[in-house]
Amino acid sequence: MYKRDQGLGRGTGPQSPIPDPQKGFPMTTPAKVFGTGLERVAVRPITKNIWWITHCLGDLAAEFYSDYFAVLPNAEEYAGKRVVDYPFSAFLIVDEQSMLIDTVGPKQQDAMMDALAYMLGDKSLDYIWISHIELPHAGNAAVIKRRYPNAKLVTLAGGDHYELHALDNAIQVAPGDVMRLGQHEVEMVDALFVDHGLSHWCFERTTGLMFTADWAHNLHEPACNECFMFLDEMLAGQYTTELFVDDVKVNAWYQFPWLAWADEDEIVTAVDRFFEQYDVKILAPSHGNIIRSDFKQYIPMIKEGMRRAVQMPFSNHL
Amino acid sequence: MIRQIVDDVYQIGISVAGKEGHEAVRVYVILNDGHPILIDCGSHLYRPQFMQEMEEVLDGATPEYIFLTHSELPHAGNIKSVAEKWPGIKVIVSNVLLAYIEILPVLPLSQITAVIPGTKLEVNGRMLEFVDALLKDQPGSQWIYDSRTGTLFTGDGFGYFQDESLIDQFSDEIDGGIREAQFQAYHYHTFRFLRWVKPERLGADLDTMFTRRPIHVIAPIHGSAIRHDISTHKERLKSALANVRAQYV
């Protein structure tokens, strides 16, 4: 069950060393794909009991993302160089109690239900944790709840008018609260960078997995067979750390256009403090490839990407 | 409740109670000489009310377009009922919104058009402009300007909580209009990113937007229309945004 963790206080992160999540775990387990095209969903284990569930377009990406860089204020730096794809992900922690982090969207509903059945087997689903209530993040919550009627919705406390978002019966949790699932402990995290007001992140303490919803993510190229890859696998191919910095910047500009009115030093300092507070080993954003190893090396890149994002203008069409 | 704002622009919708007051959810209907336009289409959670009021205002006319300010549940959750009632309806969304995954899959994607900010669309001789939403709780958000009436439809921006007894009243029907504290409470909950925003920078862009076109009515989805003292209300919003930032710093 969840409860306020008085012993650790709010957001102090784990107090004991985090075990290596990959120890004794095969790094090369392939993705299993359910459905096709706009409906497809792939699942891949990140650790022994945490699954990455992700939808992306693959061969169809060029139809949908041809303008991804073309509308940027400095489009000439990007246009035509890469045909990218943009994933929408959820995560499943399987333990004595199981927790689904986000749900993917209604278009992927059938594949998502098949994927859940595959991952859970005869285990129950106990919690559906919602990062925020946009369709690609929460749009299957109702149908999943019908299939797994004992599952409880979990949302951020401190808001108002939950009824408008069909969250009036959800469990409300605040930053610092901890949900103990068995071996896994999920700490609620104050989301630094958000769009929707009812947004939060979470941190799985035993593996060091930080779920950051819309923040700090890259893009991938289907033509380079990068769909469903972990970032270390992409970097062993054609992807580069320079592209990662640029991707963090471009995606932050899209996701958080308000950065144009922020102060870059404040933003970078906040990122620094965040990673001082949480000993992150695995970064699991909703819209990027998962970083599952050597995470610390990415922190300067994320900071640089955010600094560059702040320097971009808001819009030319006020 | 159905209310005429100005000329052929109507406000409908519901409200729900909360700790800090009632929150409205609006759909705006522009009758447009028999070629109606809907601004958002409401939430499926309150489907009977939205459908009944839309049909009453339309009085048998078939809406040609929905302009979605964004695709969140209170704004687009009712799209299934609207698509069933008027299957030929076309939907205009922001170019940053990915229709195949961010809108319920109830209409052919060919009926959904994404437009970049700055796009102008003429519908039966009426010019409507899509502008970049300054306050967005979803990247694919847009505001819409109706040049005929000078109405700016501001999505979540300019929302406010209200007493239940005043929920359907326009600003000019309320003594003193909409107060700064009402804007502040709403924007604090809705736009938590304001903790990072330098209010003078956002305020300057807000001023620019209001300078570039004559704005006589502000029509938020989460409030009733503001149709007097536009400049005063803009300044109150700017103060409210600064206060929200101060709550964090």
pLDDT at A24: 58
Residue type, A310: V
SS3 B53: helix
Average pLDDT over residues A25-46: 92
Q: What is the pLDDT of residue A76?
A: 81
Please state the rounded mean pLDDT for residues A201-227: 97
pLDDT digits (tens, 9 = 90+) for B161-205: 999 999 999 999 999 999 999 999 999 999 999 999 999 999 999
Closest-approach residue (CA) in chain A for B136: A195
Terminal-residue alpha carbon distance, chain B:
40
Is residue B231 pLDDT above 60, yes or no? yes
Q: Contact B197/A262, CB-based, under 8 Å?
A: yes
The pLDDT of residue A9 is above 60: no
What average pLDDT does this structure show over A91-99? Answer: 98
Total CB pairs under 8 A between chain A and B? 124
- A235 burial (CB, 10 Å; 0-12 / 13-18 / 19+) is middle
* Nearest chain A CA: its distance from B101 CA (Å): 6
**Mean per-residue pLDDT, B10-20:** 97
| pLDDT of the residue at A15 | 35
CA–CA–CA angle A6, A18, A155 (5° rounding): 50
Q: Quick check: A317 and B116 CB within 8 A?
A: yes
Does the beta-carbon distance from B197 to A258 stay under 8 Å?
yes
> What integer pLDDT is reported at residue A18 of this predicted model?
41
Q: Is the pLDDT of residue B119 over 60?
A: yes
Rounded to 5°, the CA angle A194-A198-A201 comes to 60
Q: Check pLDDT > 70 for residue A1.
A: no
pLDDT at A67: 82
Looking at residue B11, its pLDDT comes to: 98
In this prediction, residue A21 carries a pLDDT of 46
Q: If you average pLDDT over every residue of chain B, what do you get?
A: 97
pLDDT at residue A23, rounded to an integer:
59
Say what the pLDDT of residue A75 is: 83
A317–B contact, CB cutoff 8 A: yes
Contact A64 B96 (CB under 8 A): no
What was the ipTM of the complex prediction?
Answer: 0.95
In sequence order, what are the residues at sequence separation of 6 or more whose Cβ sits closer than 8 angstroms to the Cβ of residue B68?
B40, B41, B75, B76, B91, B92, B93, B94, B97, B103, B142
Residue A22 has pLDDT above 80, yes or no: no
**Mean pLDDT value across residues B148-155:** 98
* pLDDT bucket at A318, cuts 50 / 70 / 90: confident
Nearest CA-CA distance, residue A183 and chain B, Å? 33
C-alpha span between B9 and B28 (Å, rounded): 7
Using the beta-carbon criterion (under 8 Å), do A193 and B193 form an inter-chain contact? yes
Residues A165-186: tens digit of each pLDDT: 999 999 999 999 999 999 999 9
Q: What pLDDT was estimated at residue A72?
A: 87
- Scan residues 181-200 of A and list those with Cβ closer than 8 Å to B: 191, 193-197, 199
What's the pLDDT score for residue A299? Answer: 98
Q: Does B40 touch chain A (CB under 8 A)?
A: no
Q: Which of B43, B100, B139 sits opposite A257 (nearest CB)?
A: B139
Of B161, B196, B208, the CB nearest to A267: B196
pLDDT on residue A191? 98
Residue type, B12: I
pLDDT at A19 over 70: no
Average pLDDT over residues A291-309: 97
The pLDDT value recorded for residue A29 is: 86
What part of A 127-186 touches B (C-beta under 8 Å)? 133-136, 139, 159-161, 163-166
All residues of chain A having their beta carbon less than 8 Å from the beta carbon of residue B138 are 134, 195-196
Q: Which of A52, A24, A1 is nearest to A290 (CA)?
A: A52
Q: Measured between CA atoms, how close is A258 to chain B, in angstroms? A: 7
**Rounded distance between C-alpha atoms, residue A157 and residue A199, angstroms:** 10
Asked if the Cβ–Cβ distance from B95 to A38 is below 8 Å, we say no
B102–A134 CB contact, under 8 Å:
yes
Closest CA to B36 of B103, B85, B78, B71: B85
A20, pLDDT greater than 90: no
Say yes or no: B23 contacts chain A, CB-CB below 8 A: yes
Nearest Cβ partner for B101 among A107, A199, A318? A107
Task: Examine the pLDDT at A271 and tell me if it is beyond 80.
Answer: yes
Q: Do A161 and B192 touch (CB under 8 A)?
A: no
Mean pLDDT, rounded, for A49-70: 94
